[in-house]
Structures are given as C-alpha cells and as structure tokens.
Amino acid sequence: MWHKQGTFPQVSHGSREGWFTRTDGLGPWPWCMLWPMDTMWWPPTAAELEALQRRLAGEADWRPRWAPPAGRPLAIGGVFVATPRTEAAPLAHAAAVVVVAGRVRASAVVTGRLEAPYVAGLLALREGRLLHAAVTALAMVPDVLLVNATGRDHPRRAGLALHLGAACGLPSIGLTDRPLLAGGPEPPAERGAAAPLLFEDEVVGYRLRTRAQARAVVVHAAWRTDAETARGVVRDLGGGSRTPGPLRAARQLARAARSDALEPHAASPALAHRSLS
C-alpha cells in the first residue's frame, strides 16, 4: 500500500496506544504522506535533491511558524538510523518513537538499505526514505519531530531535519553534535545555557547545554520552527541526559534492532519485522 514500486521495507510496531490512532489499517497519517518511496520527496540524484532543497527552503520562509500547544504535554517524536556494521548484515535500521511526559507512547522500526554514501548537505539521499517510512509507520502523530540532522544550517537552507518535517507534514527540529556551516560561541557551563549560531546573518540554531559541564548539543531551526522555539522545546525536555529523551529512545531502538539482526536468536518479539503490503 505504501510503495508504488520496488521492495517493501520491513516494519515492526511498538505500542499502538496513543492519540489520533485510526482503525482502518491506514494508520493516523494523511494519505499524501504515505508514499515514502515517492521521488517527489526523495529524488534519486544529487542535482534533483539540491533543486528540491532550494524549493523547500523558499517554501519554509512563508510557512506559518509552529508554537507548542498549551494545556497538555507535548507529543514529541524522535527518529534515528542505525547504520550497518558489517557487510554480512548490510541493512540499516530506522526507528521512530513518540514520547509524551517522558513515556514512549508509540514506536516503529523500518529496515532497508542506505541509498547513497554520506556527503555533507546531501544526507537525504542516504537516509531520507528510510526515516520517512519509520515516521509514517507510527500509530500516533507527534506534535513535533526531533531529527538527527541539520535544518536551516545548510548550504541551501534545507537540511534533512527540515526536509523530513516537510515530507511528513510535521514541525521539526534538528539536533546534531556540531553545526554544519553556522558559527557562534560556546554557551556557559550550566544546564540550559545557550549561544546563538549564525549563518549569513540569520540565527539558524543554538548551542545548548542540556547537561551541566557536558558538551553542548546543536539545536537547529527546521520545518515550521524558528531557532528560539527549537531551543525552548529541547531545553524543556530535561531528563538529565545530554541527548534529549525522544532522540535517545529512537537511537536505542534502532541500535537494538541492528543487534537483533546480527544475533537473530536473541531478537526481541517487539522487533519481529513484518512486510508492509
């Protein structure tokens, strides 16, 4: 159902508890978002991707900015790819989660091949379709999505965090260890301290100290989010860990799936894969 052509990825669901869940088998996502293999979102060549990135950057300039809803906890999505470790196990595992008030309320894992080598600024060629498939496999729609990639800090102002948010129809925030092109000072050592990152005179993100004395993470404005909102969402997550909880949960799930693939006899029942059809 989700793919127009090619090999279906393998997918497993975690908890199906959550808001916005449908019971017709299509999941909670708009029909237009259910084509992760569609070349409209994930073109096969660098030249086509760069053209799409420029269009997305232009569209992002006029899209209304998202603000966190008041009166209830945020449902925060996180998505992460665990890359292959050996040629004997060449598949990557993309995991997506939704966390509400510190609890994982929905999760999904998708397995497939990475489609290109890593090239700075072209990460979408490598991971985009797998990540899109994982997010749209979730049985619950998050308010905002955390992505291990840049957003506006990008040669064409549309890194994978922005691109994936647009493809999924979700506000998104990028999280990385370091900026791609932007520059700025280090923040003070206390938790919650932040310092702006500028690229061509635009504040595109912040270095944010999520744990006292720990190395700052880089928080990126992405799809429908500005740098200040992105900083506030990540700062307010807390949890005592350097990596924010939703992204950490997705990383743990993806790496567990990769380990299970290397040692199939030890696989968790929650990660038993089934084919989308």
Model's pTM, two decimal places?
0.84
Q: Give the domain range for residue 173.
A: 10-66+75-272
5 within a domain of the structure (yes/no): no
195 within a domain of the structure (yes/no): yes
Task: Give 100's pLDDT tier (boundaries 50, 70, 90).
Answer: very high
What CATH number has the domain bearing residue 109? 3.30.2170.10
Model confidence at 268: pLDDT above 90: no
Bridge partner residues of 197 (DSSP): 205
Bridge partner residues of 194 (DSSP): 208
Residue bearing the bigger pLDDT, 8 or 263 = 263
277 within a domain of the structure (yes/no): no
Q: Residues, the chain, total?
A: 277
Q: Give how far the C-alpha of residue 124 lies from the chain's centroid of Cα atoms, to the nearest Å.
A: 11
User: 14 with 106: CB under 8 angstroms?
Assistant: yes
CA distance 12 to 233: 28
Model confidence at 252: pLDDT above 50: yes
28 within a domain of the structure (yes/no): yes
2 within a domain of the structure (yes/no): no
Tokens of 96: 């997506």
Tokens of 89: 């196990």
β-pairing verdict for 274-275 and 194-199: unpaired
**What is the domain count for the chain?**
1
Mean pLDDT for the chain overall: 84
Write out pLDDT tens, residues 209-230: 999 989 999 999 999 999 999 9
User: 223 with 60: CB under 8 angstroms?
Assistant: yes
